[in-house]
Structure 1
Amino acid sequence: MKRLCLLAVAALLTVTAASAAPPTHPLPSFVGLAIADKNRPEEDRALDAQRKPAEVLRFSGIKPGDIVVDLMPGKGYYTRLFSRMVGSKGKVYALQPAEMDKIAPKGLESVRGFAGKEGYANVTVLVEPVNELKLPEPVDVIWTSQNYHDLHDPFMGSPDMAKLDKSLFDALKPGGTLIVLDHAAADGTGVSKTNDLHRIDPAAVKSELTAVGFQFDSESDALRNPADDHSKGIRDPSVKGNTDRFIYKFRKP
């Protein structure tokens, strides 16, 4: 009887401990090493508190050996991290629509400054018209951060989103993933706030991508901010760097 009581107590303690502290997945070492990369500029490191790379990159599922596309890479914050994560057996394509390169050339100048160089030899820059985005080979992951909304803006030539999204779908290997990280607009606003506030309704992203064959896989709340009421532009001092951002993962069957 005494032994049975002890076993019952032990079982109860196990359940209680599990409820109080649910298990967490350890950060893959290659993610941690990418973040700690000594070649990352201070400008990038200063953004880490806002961008939470450990949580975000863990969710991405990118791993050594993968072929990754950083679509509209900005100054290369994620490009550098992906380069380290995929390693020497992987590749990273920094893919910039020509239309964006014309209005924001400084970002790509930054990426060109390290692409193919020591430490980032696996990075290749591609510049193509938005309606003709093509990749030299099938890829494992397409990533776009804080820029999917820009594809709907007049300065991009208002591309046919169904055609563009289908080109992304076709570029992926079967089972490959597309990850969209962007500034959330208010529910029900669709794509109406992409130009003035530089935000997009997450439901609109899901609708567009599933319409061309993507399966919605999962989402991360690592960058969600309930204090952001979605009424201000992303550069407003009250929300700049801390907007409510969603991260959606889609899979090609």
Structure 2
Amino acid sequence: MRPTALAVLVALAFPVTAALAASPASTEVPSYVTAAVNDPARKDDTANDERRKIADIMAFAEVKPGQSVVDLIPGSGYFTRVFSGIVGAKGRVYAVWPNEYGKEAVSDVQASKALVANPHYANVGVLMVPSKEFKTPEQVDLVFTSQNYHDYPDKFMGNVDPVVFDKQVFDSLKPGGLFVVIDHVAEAGSGMRDTDTLHRIDPAIVKKQVESVGFVFDGESDVLRNPKDPHNIKVFDKSIRGHTDQFVYRFRKPG
């Protein structure tokens, strides 16, 4: 979906502003995840929580208090706000925007800046980076991206090689750190054919690319799967928008 060194926009608001089987939908949700999801400051987000399976996704991503997390291409900040509540005052959340994407999502970037100006989200910072130079100020525990992995190879992002991007993510993580990818499912065998047209990607090519740089596939969740999605229409088509078949993959950096 779409709509230089680290230019730490920063409002970096820290003081300033093992191969596993598919994870069941009933993954136990820790109390700190429940507390973050129930934060009254998220009242405008709650209408989407059941559809987006926020508690299940956070449990699957294994986010914990005190961790450092990257919300890559955070959109409206839906996930950022929950990450902030989970990691708490001793943790950090980096809302990372590729410069190229930010040019097409100006309002969302402004929303991220506004978020870090809110004292309630004092553990959140915004980073603007070139799309071909993903990196973080420190090694982090989790890099998370939802519905945006498919954008990287597209022209508006500079035709980034996903394998190069995956290696940059690998280097940004602590040993044992996680890379969680959520995206719209394309037809089996289609590879990256539909990334710029239907805004979909074949899960098999994502797994192949990510594993090729050293990650170990660590599990998948089926909470966003929809067998009624035909996989051959745009994700914005009114018949499927908001209810696409999505894969949720977790990869671990050895260590």
Q: Which has the higher contact order (CA 8 A, sep 6+)?
A: 2
Is 2:181 aligned against 1:188? no
Q: Matched residues in 1 for 2:235 and 2:161: separation?
A: 25
Aligned-residue Cα RMSD (Å) equals 1.3
Offset at residue 100 of structure 1 (A): 0.2
What does 1:120-139 correspond to in 2, within 5 Å?
A: 120-139=121-140
Deviations 1:26-76 (A, max 9, x none): 42111111111111151x222213201111111110000110000111111
Offset at residue 163 of structure 1 (A): 1.7
Is 2:157 aligned against 1:156? yes
Q: Matched residues in 1 for 2:151 and 2:169: separation?
A: 16
Q: Matched residues in 2 for 1:47 and 1:146: separation?
A: 16
Q: Which residue of 2 aligns with 1:229?
A: 230
Preserved contact between residue 181 and residue 246 of structure 1 (Cα < 8 Å): yes
Aligned residue type for 2:124: V
Aligned residue type for 1:235: F
Local SS of the residue matching 1:249: strand
Q: Matched residues in 1 for 2:162 and 2:233: separation?
A: 25
Q: Matched residues in 2 for 1:79 and 1:29: separation?
A: 18
Aligned residue type for 1:67: S
The size of the alignment, in residue pairs, is: 230
Which one has a bigger Cα radius of gyration?
1
5+ residue gaps, structure 2: 1-23
Local SS of the residue matching 1:46: helix
Report the more deviating stretch, 44-53 or 225-234: 44-53
Q: Matched residues in 2 for 1:40 and 1:106: separation?
A: 19
Q: Matched residues in 2 for 1:73 and 1:25: separation?
A: 24
5+ residue gaps, structure 1: 1-21
Is 2:209 aligned against 1:214? no
Offset at residue 109 of structure 1 (A): 1.0
- Find runs of 4+ consecutive structure 1 residues off by over 3 angstroms: none
Aligned residue type for 1:92: V
Q: Which residue of 2 aligns with 1:82?
A: 83
Q: Matched residues in 2 for 1:72 and 1:244: separation?
A: 20
Preserved contact between residue 177 and residue 252 of structure 2 (Cα < 8 Å): yes
Q: Matched residues in 1 for 2:105 and 2:79: separation?
A: 17
Q: Which is richer in helix? A: 1
Q: Matched residues in 2 for 1:106 and 1:150: separation?
A: 18
Aligned residue type for 1:29: S
Identity %: 50
TM-score of the two chains, using structure 1 as the length reference: 0.88
Report the more deviating stretch, 52-61 or 122-131: 52-61
Deviations 1:78-101 (A, max 9, x none): 000000000011000001100000
Aligned residue type for 1:121: A
Q: Matched residues in 2 for 1:116 and 1:143: separation?
A: 22
Q: Matched residues in 2 for 1:36 and 1:201: separation?
A: 34
